[in-house]
Structure 1
Amino acid sequence: MRTAVYRVLGPAGGIAIDLTAGSASVAAPPRCADRINNRIWLDATPVLEHPPTDRSGLRLTQDEAGWLRHGLSLAAEAIEAAQPRGRHTLVTVHRVLFPETEFQAEGLAGAIIDWSRREFSIPEVAVGVSFDRAANRFAFNWQSHQPGPGEDVHRKHPARDLRGRLLPDERGAE
């Protein structure tokens, strides 16, 4: 299992999501998972149906899990290309942690994209993020994006996770 921390910082706060997931290469399509594309599957059951017994994570709603599916679908083509032909890849999300006061469900897509990049050594997926002051929310552009004038939001990989533990460096060391 690997943990990724996704952060988006804006002028008056930000989004921070700590996501722990694992992957498995399987010969046949899994029975208890959502199909993302031909050979990529997502199992979010551990964060949907089972409350964390150690209180180290949060339960997600079905709508929030939809953002996990969306994010994984954006990375799916690159994941599939990096995996052995004829095998299926099952991604299981084991834990999600975020401060509920500064949370936008769309950030879950960014969190699983970042996790996928680290887990499968795939190129970064382009995600544009800007802050809509009038709505007091972050706006995500899930396609190719060039920062426009006045965009004062920057992606930042923190030195520590939400529990204060040091994160591995960006070169993939654990």
Structure 2
Amino acid sequence: MAEPAQGMRTTAYRVIKGAWGIAVDLTAEATLGAAPPGCAERVSDRVWLDASPVLSHPPADRTGRRITPEEAVWLRHGVALAAPAVEVLAAPRHTTITVHRVRFPETDYQPEGLAAAVLAWTEAEFGLPPRPVEVRFDRSANRYVYGW
């Protein structure tokens, strides 16, 4: 039987280094279980990602945004960065991270911000030390560049 790790938590990720910034509010929940979950994407041996709530978020619901499968790849990337540490903390159980909601203004957004937001969420949820993420603003491209 699966058990919630802490309950739902919202993390606000912000970066402003140029003419505009990236702002993502991400609400997620971690569930621990003895067996792999029935429906989630495997990120590592014992860490799983369930992005289905944000992939199917109703467009008329203004409490969050629906993201595309291409954007969800960035959620997986952020979880993958934290997965080794999460596995150590939760061993021998399986951890499923379910992303329930994402909010971002269309003008202050790049999909890479989803990876940074879910990484910050895992750090808060599991008490992990912050992982420095190099972010610089490329003025000529008018976008942020992440050094993962």
Q: Which residue of 2 aligns with 1:48?
A: 55
Moved over 2 A (4+): none
Matched residue of 2:57: which SS? Answer: coil
Alignment of 1:46-85 (within 5 A): 46-51=53-58, 54-83=61-90, 85=91
Aligned positions, number = 141
- Structure with the greater alpha carbon radius of gyration: 1
Shift of the alpha carbon at 1:123? 1.3
The structural deviation recorded for 1:101 is 1.4
- Aligned 1:12-161 pairs, distance under 5 A: 12-51=19-58, 54-83=61-90, 85-142=91-148
The 8 Å contact of residues 22 and 109 in structure 2, kept in 1 or not, is answered as: yes
**Contact map agreement 2:57 2:64 (CA 8 A) in 1:** no
Asked whether the equivalents of residues 18 and 139 of structure 2 are also in contact (C-alpha less than 8 Å), the reply is no
Alpha-carbon distance in 2 for matches of 1:72, 1:53: 28
Q: What is the Cα deviation at residue 118 of structure 1?
A: 0.3
Greater CA deviation, 105-114 or 124-133? 124-133
The answer to whether the Cα contact below 8 Å between 2:57 and 2:65 also exists between their aligned partners in 1 is: no
CA deviation after TM superposition for structure 1 residue 55, in Å: 1.8
Give the distance between the partners of 2:119 and 2:135, measured in 1 at CA: 14
Tell whether the 8 Å contact from 1:129 to 1:138 is kept in structure 2 after alignment.
Answer: yes
SS class of match (1:60): coil
Task: Check 1:87–1:53 CA distance in 2 against 1; reply closer, same or farther (3 A cut).
Answer: farther
Aligned-pair Cα RMSD in Å: 1.1
* Deviation string, structure 1 residues 90-112 (Cα, Å, up to 9, x no partner): 00000000001121000100000
- Kindly indicate whether the alpha-carbon contact (under 8 Å) linking 1:78 and 1:123 is maintained by their aligned counterparts in 2: no
The residue aligned with 1:155 is none
* Between 61-70 and 124-133, the greater mean CA deviation after superposition: 124-133
Q: Choose the corresponding residue for 1:6, options 10, 13, 37.
A: 13
